[in-house]
């Protein structure tokens, strides 16, 4: 699933392309998206930003469009032509990547370009809101970990009176926004904290390591374009470069990059968690 770095790279890749552009038409083959066409036609994109894992297009007439890419979705920008019942990209070889071929909604813009969603599993959420209503919904999310005002003191307060395993708490979007399975595993490895450790048992020293690790790992991934070992691609269709920095996620039975012990995988809350049994002792 695209997490904070991937969503931020989507924003970075789109903002100069679509800002102040106007939606003129929509094509989709998914029933739940059919009503978007009438609502979004002739709406101008006035602002584009990220909140947690959500992409928000703030539109004219006090409306907004929210896109949550879910498990396998990613937004692409370019041009396609419909041939033999399939959309085929033109003028951009990156868009020919196999992971970019599952187009299920295409927004036509007033500059003759298109904004498309590729989503093999069709789980992505696209919803039309009154702007003020959406802002109220987004207030329910936890703080942004890369916000300059997100200090260690604010971070520490998030865990007061919290219980449960640290891996699950880090992934709770109401506690802190933008972190999912990939980066929870990565920051816990960096901070040498076992994913099953109880939040209540974390020392202040461990919390400081965790706070610094969150900022460090997310900042590096944003800079490198996010993680593309699976479905995610940037808006131009190209891959992100974080794969070379990945320390534990999806590295079961491979050597730890610190101590050479084999990485283990366990299930926590029905999700796979990867860790080093020596560096991250419970």
Catalytic residues: 2-3, 53, 271
Give the three-class secondary structure for 189: helix
The half-sphere exposure of 229 on its side-chain side, counting CA atoms within 13 A, is 10
Question: Rounded to an integer, what distance in angstroms lies between the CA atom of residue 83 and that of residue 59?
Answer: 32
Q: Where are the beta strands (DSSP E) in the chain?
A: 23-28, 45-51, 54-59, 63-68, 73-83, 86-90, 103-109, 114-119, 125-130, 264-268, 271-275
Start-to-end CA distance of the chain, whole Å, equals: 27
C-alpha dihedral (79, 55, 44, 75), degrees to nearest 10: 10
- Which residues 6+ apart lie within 8 Å of 265 measured at CB? 252, 272, 273, 274
Can you read off the two tokens belonging to residue 275?
A: 């860790």
């Amino acid at each position: 699933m695209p997490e904070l770095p991937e969503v931020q790279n989507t924003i970075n890749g789109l903002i100069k392309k679509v800002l102040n552009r106007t939606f003129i038409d929509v094509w989709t083959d998914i029933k739940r998206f059919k009503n978007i066409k009438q609502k979004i036609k002739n709406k101008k994109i006035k602002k584009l930003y990220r909140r947690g894992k959500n992409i928000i297009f703030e539109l004219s007439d006090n409306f907004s469009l929210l896109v949550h890419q879910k498990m396998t979705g990613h937004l692409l920008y370019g041009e396609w032509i419909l041939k033999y019942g399939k959309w085929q990209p033109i003028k951009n070889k990156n868009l020919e990547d196999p992971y970019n071929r599952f187009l299920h909604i295409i927004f036509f813009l007033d500059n003759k370009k298109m904004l498309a969603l590729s989503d093999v599993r069709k789980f992505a959420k696209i919803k039309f809101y009154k702007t003020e209503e959406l802002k109220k919904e987004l207030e329910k999310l936890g703080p942004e970990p890369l916000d300059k005002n997100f200090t260690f003191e604010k971070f520490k307060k998030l865990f007061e009176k919290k219980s449960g395993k640290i891996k699950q708490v880090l992934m709770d979007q109401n506690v802190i926004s933008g972190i999912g399975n990939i980066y929870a595993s990565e920051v816990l490895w960096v901070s040498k904290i076992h994913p099953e450790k109880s939040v209540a048992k974390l020392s202040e020293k461990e919390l400081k390591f965790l706070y610094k690790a969150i900022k460090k790992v997310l900042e590096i991934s944003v800079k490198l374009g996010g993680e593309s070992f699976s479905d995610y691609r940037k808006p131009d269709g190209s891959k992100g470069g974080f794969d070379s920095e990945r320390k534990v996620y999806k590295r079961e039975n491979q050597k730890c990059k610190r101590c050479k012990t084999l990485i283990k995988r366990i299930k926590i809350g029905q999700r796979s968690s990867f860790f080093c049994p020596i560096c991250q002792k419970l």
